[in-house]
């Protein structure tokens, strides 16, 4: 059951990372780009953390 939960969390963080990546590429504001980039980094680290637990 733990593996399933980790897999779901991995996919959720991966999806959030991809969503933020698209937003980052289309963004024009430098302030907003900084905020989106920090969210991308968080979700990337979380996804890596959950894939390592599988």
pLDDT (tens digit per residue) in 10-32: 999 999 999 999 999 999 999 99
Query: Which has more pLDDT, 1 or 40?
Result: 40
pLDDT of residue 53: 83
* Residue spans per domain, the chain: 2-53
Q: Is the pLDDT of residue 54 over 80?
A: no
Cα dist. 39→36, 42, 46 in Å?
5, 5, 11
| pTM for this model (two decimals) | 0.88
Averaged pLDDT, 33-44: 98
How far apart, in whole angstroms, are the C-alpha atoms of residue 32 and residue 11? 25
């Amino acid at each position: 059951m733990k593996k399933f939960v980790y897999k779901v969390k991995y996919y959720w963080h991966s999806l959030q990372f991809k969503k933020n990546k698209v937003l980052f590429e289309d963004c024009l504001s430098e302030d907003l780009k900084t905020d989106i980039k920090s969210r991308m980094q968080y979700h990337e680290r979380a996804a890596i953390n959950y894939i390592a637990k599988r």
